[in-house]
Amino acid sequence: MYNSVIIPGKNWILSLAELIAFLESRECKFKILSFSKEYFIVCFEKKIDFSIIDGLGGIIKIGEIKTTFSTDILDKAIVQKDKPSKKEIENIFADTTIIDDLISSTKKIFFGVSVYSSEKRFRKIAKVSHRFFGSIIKRKLSEHGQKSRFMGFSKDRKLPQLSHVEVLKKGLISNNAELIIGIGKNRIWVSITKAVHNPFEFQKRDVYKPIQRKIFGIPPRLAKALINLSSCNQGSSLLDPFCGVGTILQEGLLTKSKVIGVDINPWCIKSAERNLEWLSKEYELTKPEYRVLQGDIKDLSKKMGYNEIDCVATEPDLGPALRQIPTTPYANKIIIKLDKLYSIFLNETYKVLRKDGRCAFVTPYLKTRSGQIVTMNVDEKTKNIGFRRVFPFQRENFEKISSTKEEILKINSLIDTNERHKIGREIHIFQK
Ligand SMILES: C[S@@+](CC[C@H](N)C(=O)[O-])C[C@H]1O[C@@H](n2cnc3c(N)ncnc32)[C@H](O)[C@@H]1O
């Protein structure tokens, strides 16, 4: 068994759902041992290729777990300042390969420690824990005659955590030089960072592609999450029937799927083609398979064969760009106006999707001036067509799940909002 710590992005529920869909579609056997906003502990049946992080939109770091011990020991060592417990932790570290992996040919090793705690109680002592773990490593390295420098934080840093950009810029991955300490209710997980999310690559695909569309474009990280939620994998045929300038198609091509885009707007079709051409060159893709077609969603099944598509990932029209937070009546009006388009989209998608194929799509999620949430109810439409809703979290994904955390199994759609945007997204997954 191979245990990993996985640090999610800000929208951790979406990150966890994406991770599960990604692993399942690749038939990778796993169990989630623990999950929280701060980190997930995942047990894999086989060793994983840490570069999977590049295929995930919502995962920030992946670490290989080296040891685990009871939270009580840390409690005694740090809160009660108990010397034997401090020694015990030091011995636990000595029994791992952490120090051997760190020792290098360089004169002075530069290393960092990031502490993530799912428990409020331990978040308060995260900075003390950070210094405690750092000093253990420094002392052990010195016992091996190795000089080192422990990366500290400025006082104003709220949590003692290195960002993925810091880890990348300091080159900590290749030297096994970032330690991730996950502090949970009962267990501490000690791991070495093996992969981090590369924001520069996502940024490149976002702002350096030849044609951009600021208002209606989906961020590449979310596009990636959406295609993973549709269970898209290498070789799958992936359709985006509202492809715009092709952001979702781009991420699909990088997954090595065969992508097909449709949009009513001829400018979008030309732009998507240019962007895909650019991406293929930029990423040196051998034999990229893509097709972009101009057309109205109502004619989708006339453009392609029935049951031809393996997965659909799309963001249809979300209504007009909003300058202000809408009133509740206006938000309701937006939803009603979009209703017909979504009905046609779901009907047509059902026809072209193969049996068991999945469709991950976005509907608007509007927070109104009075604080109400206005969303689109797609349950009746999808049920009448024959679609089955996929709940992102299943009991069998988890080793065991405490009663306080069981709520996650009831989640049926994923919400993505941020302060800057007036229109949030609700992501649904349906299966034919
Ligand atoms: C929210 S945008 C999608 C943006 C896209 N994900 C991107 O990153 O560029 C919705 C797209 O749906 C297209 N659209 C609107 N009505 C349509 C219809 N009836 N049939 C096909 N496409 C349509 C619009 O032209 C627009 O490009």
R_g of the chain computed on alpha carbons: 24
Same domain, 326 and 416: yes
Closest atom, ligand 1, to C-alpha of 242: 12
Same domain, 184 and 292: no
Closest atom, ligand 1, to C-alpha of 243: 5
- Is there an atom of ligand 1 within 6 Å of 244 CB? yes
Closest atom, ligand 1, to C-alpha of 247: 8
pLDDT at 300 over 90: yes
- 266 is a domain residue: yes
Nearest-CA residue for atom 27 of ligand 1? 244
- Expressed in angstroms and rounded, the spacing between residue 325 Cα and the centre of ligand 1 is 22
- Residue 398: name the closest of 35, 33, 40, 46 by CA: 33
Nearest-CA residue for atom 12 of ligand 1? 242
- 244 is a domain residue: yes
- Expressed in angstroms and rounded, the spacing between residue 116 Cα and the centre of ligand 1 is 40
What tens digit of pLDDT does each residue of 343-360 get? 999 999 999 999 999 999
- 22 is a domain residue: yes
158 C-beta neighbours (distance < 10 Å), count: 9
What is the pLDDT, as a whole number, of residue 22?
Answer: 98
Closest atom, ligand 1, to C-alpha of 272: 9
- Is there an atom of ligand 1 within 6 Å of 296 CB? yes
What is the pLDDT, as a whole number, of residue 422?
Answer: 86
- 30 is a domain residue: yes
Give the residue numbers spanning the domain of 134. Answer: 2-197
Rounded to 10 deg, the angle between the 126-143 and 83-94 helix axes is: 60
Q: What's the chain's average pLDDT?
A: 95
Helix (H, G, I), strand (E, B) or coil at 168: helix
Amino acid making up residue 123: R
- 57 is a domain residue: yes
Last residue of a domain, one of 134, 168, 197: 197
Same domain, 171 and 74: yes
Nearest-CA residue for atom 26 of ligand 1? 244
- Is there an atom of ligand 1 within 6 Å of 245 CB? yes
What tens digit of pLDDT does each residue of 367-408 get? 999 999 999 999 999 999 999 999 999 999 999 988 889 999
Instruction: Using most ligand atoms within 8 A of CB, pick from 206, 207, 216, 224 the residue to mutate for ligand 1.
Output: 216
Instruction: Using most ligand atoms within 8 A of CB, pick from 230, 264, 300, 427 the residue to mutate for ligand 1.
Output: 264
Nearest-CA residue for atom 8 of ligand 1? 217
Helix (H, G, I), strand (E, B) or coil at 193: strand
Which phi-psi region, left, alpha or beta, contains residue 342 (left: φ > 0; alpha: ψ -120 to 50)?
Answer: alpha
- 398: Cα separation from own chain's centroid: 18
What is the pLDDT, as a whole number, of residue 103?
Answer: 83
- Is there an atom of ligand 1 within 6 Å of 319 CB? no
- 203 is a domain residue: no
Closest atom, ligand 1, to C-alpha of 362: 1
- Residue 275: name the closest of 296, 254, 297 by CA: 254
- Is there an atom of ligand 1 within 6 Å of 219 CB? no
Same domain, 127 and 271: no
Last residue of a domain, one of 147, 168, 197: 197
Same domain, 188 and 214: no
Same domain, 94 and 127: yes
What tens digit of pLDDT does each residue of 167-202 get? 999 999 988 999 999 999 999 999 999 999 999 999
Q: Which residue has better confidence, 231 or 107?
A: 231
Same domain, 224 and 143: no
What is the pLDDT, as a whole number, of residue 80?
Answer: 92
Report d(CA 72, CA 79) in Å as an integer: 10
What CATH number does the domain containing 34 carry?
3.30.2130.30
Place of tokens 């210094």: 131
Same domain, 189 and 286: no
What tens digit of pLDDT does each residue of 302-356 get? 999 899 999 999 999 999 988 899 999 999 999 999 999 999 999 999 999 999 9
Q: How confident is the model at residue 1 (pLDDT cuts 50, 70, 90)?
A: confident
Same domain, 330 and 185: no
- Is there an atom of ligand 1 within 6 Å of 265 CB? yes
Nearest-CA residue for atom 11 of ligand 1? 242
Total domains in the fold of the chain? 2
What is the pLDDT, as a whole number, of residue 278?
Answer: 97
- Is there an atom of ligand 1 within 6 Å of 213 CB? yes
- 202 is a domain residue: no
Same domain, 164 and 232: no
- Is there an atom of ligand 1 within 6 Å of 303 CB? no
pLDDT at 419 over 90: no
Same domain, 236 and 368: yes
- Is there an atom of ligand 1 within 6 Å of 344 CB? no
- 308 is a domain residue: yes
Q: What percent of the chain has pLDDT over 70?
A: 100
pLDDT at 213 over 90: no
Q: What percent of the chain has pLDDT over 90?
A: 87
Same domain, 325 and 213: yes
Report d(CA 113, CA 135) in Å as an integer: 10
Q: How confident is the model at residue 105 (pLDDT cuts 50, 70, 90)?
A: low
In this structure, the dihedral spanned by the alpha carbons of residues 5, 10, 11 and 16, taken in order and rounded to 10 degrees, is: -10
Helix (H, G, I), strand (E, B) or coil at 404: coil
pLDDT at 274 over 70: yes
What is the pLDDT, as a whole number, of residue 121?
Answer: 86
Last residue of a domain, one of 197, 216, 231: 197
What tens digit of pLDDT does each residue of 193-202 get? 999 999 999 9
- Is there an atom of ligand 1 within 6 Å of 268 CB? yes
What tens digit of pLDDT does each residue of 19-29 get? 999 999 999 99
pLDDT at 88 over 80: yes
Mean pLDDT score, 210-238: 93
Q: How confident is the model at residue 289 (pLDDT cuts 50, 70, 90)?
A: very high
Closest atom, ligand 1, to C-alpha of 240: 6
- Is there an atom of ligand 1 within 6 Å of 248 CB? yes
- Is there an atom of ligand 1 within 6 Å of 90 CB? no
What is the pLDDT, as a whole number, of residue 214?
Answer: 77
- Expressed in angstroms and rounded, the spacing between residue 246 Cα and the centre of ligand 1 is 10
What tens digit of pLDDT does each residue of 228-259 get? 999 999 999 999 999 999 999 999 999 999 99
What CATH number does the domain containing 277 carry?
3.40.50.150
